[in-house]
Structure 1
């Protein structure tokens, strides 16, 4: 695997090439947090812009909360951004990132996987690193028959048996790259795989059958309303509560999210609100359909901030609200 990685590794902005100096722990930590449940292609431009603006723990620790949340907009799972800022402040105060899994897990937003990845990649410690790509590779290598998520202990145990003491970070990244480039979810390129001769799923002729996945349950459907109030080229925005969905983000005023259409409930002021469109967004545990409503008469004393419509991109709103903006623009 290490020989394969030396020849075939991906060039990524948060990595040091094999055989060079150890990577910057800040960049490893930041990339691992950004990559949680997000694809590399989506993360790359965010990472590059982020490190240009905040190149260290100290710089990020001194950042304004609202600026950080706005810079995160579009990456999703916004609790990660709040934890990122909290973690940066803890690390800056203590003078550096700890180098062991046990100490890393004590920091905000760092769970078992992230702690293992940072310990291995940033500090060269032997750690069992299992992301979605590694999970797929190892489930095929050992033909783990139990469906996910129940198979994860067996997959981790299998990964442990093949993780070397030396170059643990390179090995973890090699497995990630193998899953991304060769042992792909569909149509794996087995003839190019350095593990082919030892792969139980390949020997069975059914690599596509692994990992075995449990039958997905249908996600519940919820409904809501987004309110567009505009005056003098500015639109009313509010800051969502720090705790809860999309916490701490700038947003359009929003009614409750419920099992039935709430209509104009939760409007920022009394008015003749009228529907102009529908936007949809999928969250991890439910799907949301929101009616976009506008008011012909606007109460300019409403609580919030009046943001220039021409500069809404700078507000850093989540994707749900960006879709509402598109719906409004389509009616102009």
Structure 2
């Protein structure tokens, strides 16, 4: 099949059916495109839109993002997941200010040198923001190409990914690159979807090899499955005499890096002894909230929230600079881990389940 024929059909479909009213498209400036592309990594458009709009209100340009405290950035990212994206975005904003005079660069090498920007994201920024030729290969594009050319194997494996990149380079036109790349992403998101692709309305249907084989579901091959391990923790909801709750800031890297969370007690430990040993205080009025599971890409975390109260003033409790007393009645711009935010919301609701007596740990 001729390369021009492929791209022409994609562009013709985009002209009539493509998404042209996404918030980062108006205005289509490099900073907005960059932020949207980072948010769209492993996250669907419908989820991103609200986060993007709130993020832009608070950080309308590179300078405001670079000047902000990381905690403020994490607060506006809280709930979007994959928090390394936010940390890298903040670091990259600082580098753009320092190395590029506050202007998002337009060349691939400079873009890929920034934290959190890989080849496909750089290509999206270069093409969508600057109108330059640059192939992309996000999850949607991988799915369209793998099905159309019936490419076996998981797209995340190196040999398959290499083959898909070669196709993307060959098929991406040197003119109207922005429209073509947006069209390919839109095709994957709205027609060539994972579960039940809408082949009847796809502009590439007549040349799609997977459809010709009658086995569209076979492509692309899923990621090899593995059984995720399960970990468990007790999240300690420690309250003082005024009802404020103790929060700790997590280390900058790792799970929920840089976010604020509840102290965690190993489930096999005695809670009383742990509080005395680690927090330096005695506690009382203990009861459990309903347990819940939070799943990451590589493990499940079973959380048991436990409400306790400080029995006596603990002089050393706040010696750690990474601890604060959080006021439920006056929440601040603080990045909270998603399950912690939900737990605090439960506690803050009148007549919530946590008011009922529970089993003491």
Q: 2:336 is paired with a residue of what secondary structure?
A: coil
- Which of the pair has more CA radius of gyration? 2
The one of 235, 238, 244 aligned to 2:248: 238
The one of 315, 322, 327 aligned to 2:341: 322
| Structure-2 change in CA distance of 1:261 and 1:325 (3 Å) | farther
1:138 Cα deviation (Å)? Answer: 0.5
**TM-score normalised by structure 2 residue count:** 0.84
- Counterpart-to-counterpart distance in 1, 2:204 and 2:125: 25
- Counterpart-to-counterpart distance in 2, 1:216 and 1:269: 44
| Structure 2 counterpart of 1:224 | 233
Query: 2:314 aligned with 1:271, yes or no?
Result: no
- Counterpart-to-counterpart distance in 1, 2:210 and 2:332: 47
| Structure 2 counterpart of 1:29 | 34
1:89 Cα deviation (Å)? Answer: 1.2
- Counterpart-to-counterpart distance in 1, 2:67 and 2:302: 37
| Structure 2 counterpart of 1:19 | none
Gaps of at least 5 residues in structure 2 are 1-9, 356-361
Residues 95-114 of structure 1 show CA distances to partners (whole Å, capped at 9, x for unaligned) of: 21111111111111111221
- Counterpart-to-counterpart distance in 2, 1:262 and 1:144: 51
| Structure 2 counterpart of 1:171 | 180
Query: 2:75 aligned with 1:70, yes or no?
Result: yes
1:215 Cα deviation (Å)? Answer: 3.2
| Structure-2 change in CA distance of 1:138 and 1:313 (3 Å) | farther
| Structure 2 counterpart of 1:52 | 57
**Counterpart contact for 2:287–2:308, Cα < 8 Å:** no
| Structure 1 counterpart of 2:329 | 310
**TM-score normalised by structure 1 residue count:** 0.91
* 1:1-332 paired onto structure 2 within 5 Å: 1-10=10-19, 11-16=21-26, 23-93=28-98, 94-95=100-101, 96-150=103-157, 151-231=160-240, 232-255=242-265, 261-262=268-269, 264=271, 265=274, 267-272=278-283, 274=286, 276-277=288-289, 278-298=291-311, 299-301=313-315, 302-303=317-318, 304-312=323-331, 314-326=333-345, 328=347, 329-332=352-355
Gaps of at least 5 residues in structure 1 are 17-21
1:316 Cα deviation (Å)? Answer: 3.4
**Counterpart contact for 1:229–1:294, Cα < 8 Å:** yes
| Structure-2 change in CA distance of 1:37 and 1:268 (3 Å) | farther
> How large is the RMSD of aligned CA atoms in angstroms?
2.0
1:118 Cα deviation (Å)? Answer: 0.9
Residues 99-135 of structure 1 show CA distances to partners (whole Å, capped at 9, x for unaligned) of: 1111111111111221111111111222221111111
Q: 2:248 is paired with a residue of what secondary structure?
A: strand
Residues 140-192 of structure 1 show CA distances to partners (whole Å, capped at 9, x for unaligned) of: 01000123422222222222221111111211110010111111112211111
**Counterpart contact for 2:281–2:310, Cα < 8 Å:** no
**Counterpart contact for 2:71–2:334, Cα < 8 Å:** no
Higher alpha-carbon deviation: 148-157 or 312-321: 312-321
**Counterpart contact for 1:223–1:262, Cα < 8 Å:** no
